[in-house]
Amino acid sequence: MRALPNRIRRVILIGGGLVLVLIPLAILGVVIVSAAGLPPAFLRPQVTQPIAFPHNTHVQAARLDCTFCHRNVTTGDAATVPAVEQCMFCHQVVATDRPEIQKLISYWQQNQPINWNRVHRLPDHVHFVHSLHIQRGFACSTCHGAVENVGKEGVQQVRPLKMGDCVNCHRENNGPTDCGVCHY
């Protein structure tokens, strides 16, 4: 093999060295940060939503059940967010003078979907089936926290919702822990 020019060798040595040092450091960093009780690394920073939707108003004041809007949660994999049309069933008449409701009306009139920013996102390669968990009697708040108290600041994730979290809960509740239960 012909010797490489010195300049390139230097670049490879330094670059390789940096990679070798930085990757363990990065992993170490995540561990340290988590252990120190800082905001957990798995949480996304608080996200703003296209419409400041207050869950508390709908649950506490309007007394709606979760399934009134997340209507697929008892029957399917995804809980699903409601269609704009469903919001409009009430908001054609309710609180139409509020600025946030007017945003909603404008989506409806322009025939545009609302792109909400996702708060809960499970890792790739895992299937989570909402309906089975609800049928076993778990409350929405077990995973999602007290959403009914959250106002216009927006919902935030309260649990890691990673594999360790899932497996712990499955063990505590005698749930199955075979790989194929979630990874299929």
Partner 1 sequence: MGVTRRDFMKLAATSAAGAVVFAGCSIPEQEFIVQSPVRIPEDVLAGDENWYATVCRQCPAGCGVIVRVMEGRAKKIEGNPDHPLNRGKLCARGLAGVQLLYHPDRVARPLIRTGDRGRAEFRAASWDEALRELTQRLQNLIGQQAGNTAVIITGPLTGYRAEVVRRFARALGADHFQLTTPDETVVRTAQRRAFGSEFLVDFALEQASYVLSFGADFLGTWLSPVRYSRGYGEFRQGRPGRRGTLVHIDPRFSTTAASADEWVPVKPGSEGLLALSIAHVLVSENLANPAAVQAITAGAGPAAFNPFRPELVSEATGVEADRIREIARAFGRTRPAVAIAGGAAGAHTNGTFNLLAAYALNYLVGSVGVGQPVRLVARPPYGNVPYTPNPATVSQWQALISRLDTGRPRPVQLLILFDADTVYHLKYLGFEKVVGKAGYIVSFATLLDDTAAYADLVLPAHTYLEDWGDEVTDPAPSYPVIGFQQPIVNPFYDSRSFFDVLLTLARSVGGPLQRELPWPNLREAVRDGARQLYQSGRGSVQAVDFEAFWNGVLQRGGWWDTAAAVTAVPTPPNLPTEPPVARFQGDAREYPLALIPFEPIGVGSGGPLAGLPWLQAVPEPTTTMVWQTWAEIGPETARRLGLSEGDVVAVESPVGRIEVPVYVNFAMPSGVVGVPFGRGQRHYGRYAQGRGANVLEILAPLTDEDSGALAYAATRVRLVRTGQRVRVIKYEGAVPPYGLERERPVEVTRG
- Asked if 17 touches partner 1 (CB under 8 A), the answer is no
The number of CA neighbours under 13 Å toward the Cβ of 16 is: 6
Both structure tokens of 77: 């994999």
Nearest approach, Cβ of residue 35 and partner 1 (Å):
10
Tell me, by CB under 8 A, how many residues bind partner 1. 37
Stretch that binds partner 1, among 3-11, 72-80, 89-97, 146-154 (CB under 8 A): 72-80
Per-residue buried b or exposed e for 83-93, using 16+ beta carbons within 10 Å of the residue's own CB: ebeebbeebee
Smaller CB distance to partner 1: residue 3 or 35?
A: 35
Taking the C-alpha atoms of residue 122 and residue 117, their distance in angstroms, rounded to an integer, is: 14
Range in contact with partner 1 (rule: CB under 8 A) among 71-79, 94-102, 136-144, 172-180: 71-79
Q: Does 128 bind partner 1 (CB under 8 A)?
A: no
> Which of the residues 132 through 151 are near partner 1 (CB under 8 A)?
none
Q: Which of 34, 56, 80, 156 binds partner 1 (CB under 8 A)?
A: 80
What is the rounded CA–CA span in Å between residue 130 and residue 75? Answer: 8
- HSE value, Cβ hemisphere, 13 Å, CA-based, for 173: 12
Which residues does 44 contact at the CB level (< 8 Å), separation at least 6?
Answer: 119, 157
Chain residues 32-51 in contact with partner 1, contact rule CB under 8 A = 32-33, 36, 44, 47
* Interatomic CA distance for residues 29 and 34, integer angstroms: 9
Contact between 89 and partner 1 by CB under 8 A: the answer reads no
Is 18 an interacting residue with respect to partner 1 (CB under 8 A)?
Answer: yes
Residue 181 found at the interface with partner 1 (CB under 8 A): no
162 is an interface residue for partner 1 by CB under 8 A:
no
Contact status, residue 88 vs residue 109, Cβ threshold 8 Å:
no
Using CB under 8 A, list all residues that contact partner 1: 18-19, 22-23, 25-26, 28-29, 32-33, 36, 44, 47, 72, 75-78, 80-87, 107-108, 111-118, 121
